[in-house]
Amino acid sequence: MARTALLNVMVNAVLKAGRGLARDFGEVENLQVSLKGPGDFVSAADRRSEETLIAELRKARPGYSFLAEESGVTEGSDNVHRWIIDPLDGTTNFLHGNPIFAISVGLEREGTMVAGVIYNPILNELYVAERGSGAFLNDRRLRVANRSHLADCVIASGIPQLNRPGQPEYLKELSTVIGQVAGVRCNGSAAMDLAWTASGRFDGYWQRGLSPWDVAGGIVIAREAGVMVSDQAGGENVLESGSILAANETIHRRMIELLDASR
């Protein structure tokens, strides 16, 4: 695919940050498995990745604002554009030497997500999309899976972490969904779940308790692959609601019915 200047900026930033994360990932197995050592190491890797992303994106688009997982909000002179970045989505996986994690960068223009890039440096998977131009994995065009029966579908989800609210509600949802589908999978990375739904590896994905940086890049990629993306009420308020539901149109409708029935 021929990338626009904007996508080139985003891709160059995630590739540079990805090289650092790949090096850090190679060191994880050498760490003493304790709460202090690995946790501090991964936090440092997270910060280094974010610093690289911000530096590269700011160099190319100096006026844009930022919403980043580690550093929060940074206002720019351009009040139209905002980068929303997650420098390491899937931190727990990273800590355990599990290669399912990603860097996610989304660009918001006047409140609408218009471009997204997700990069897994270990699997060497680069997902890119710009609104109206399609979604791609390593230059291969992506399309959502077209299954229409829940019984044939593998659905991804995210389990609320320790001490996070929403576990009782989630268990009700899981109990309802799991009896209707071929399988439920938990990757531990919202960005990868959206990317894999866009690529057809999953037939759908739902989760609560999310932050904007978890899904900002993936929203554009999924929608450009033909995925219907909404909050769990079926509305457009994904970033603010903290909930997401993504699937093709038929499965999306059926998932809304299942999730409603679990309440």
| Band of pLDDT at residue 33, cut at 50, 70 and 90 | very low
Task: Please determine, for residue 31, whether its predicted confidence score (pLDDT) is greater than 90.
Answer: no
Residue 47: predicted pLDDT: 92
Please give the structure tokens belonging to residue 259. Answer: 């999730």
Residue 43: predicted pLDDT: 78
Residue 184 β-bridge partners? 155
> Which conformational region is residue 37 in: left (phi greater than 0), alpha (psi within -120 to 50 degrees), or beta?
alpha
Residue 44: predicted pLDDT: 83
Asked if 205 contacts 244 with a C-beta cutoff of 8 angstroms, the reply is yes
The order of strands in the sheet holding 228-230 is: 183-185, 154-157, 204-207, 244-247, 228-230
Share the mean pLDDT of the chain: 92
Q: What is the mean pLDDT of residues 112-120?
A: 98
pLDDT digits (tens, 9 = 90+) for 154-212: 999 998 876 677 788 899 999 999 999 999 999 999 999 999 999 999 999 999 999 99
Residue 36: predicted pLDDT: 41
Task: Please determine, for residue 34, whether its predicted confidence score (pLDDT) is greater than 50.
Answer: no
Strands (E), the chain: 65-68, 72-74, 81-89, 102-109, 112-120, 125-130, 135-137, 140-141, 154-157, 183-185, 204-207, 228-230, 244-247
The Cα 214–Cα 126 span in angstroms is 16
Question: How many Cβ atoms sit within 10 Å of the Cβ of residue 77?
Answer: 8
Residue 28: predicted pLDDT: 74
Q: What is the mean pLDDT of residues 66-94?
A: 95
Residue 157: predicted pLDDT: 97
Residue 29: predicted pLDDT: 64
Task: Please determine, for residue 40, whether its predicted confidence score (pLDDT) is greater than 70.
Answer: no
Q: What is the mean pLDDT of residues 225-235?
A: 95
What global pTM score does this model have?
A: 0.94
Counting Cβ atoms within 10 Å, is residue 151 exposed (0-12), middle (13-18) or buried (19+)? exposed
Please give the structure tokens belonging to residue 31. Answer: 């760490």
The Cα 225–Cα 144 span in angstroms is 6
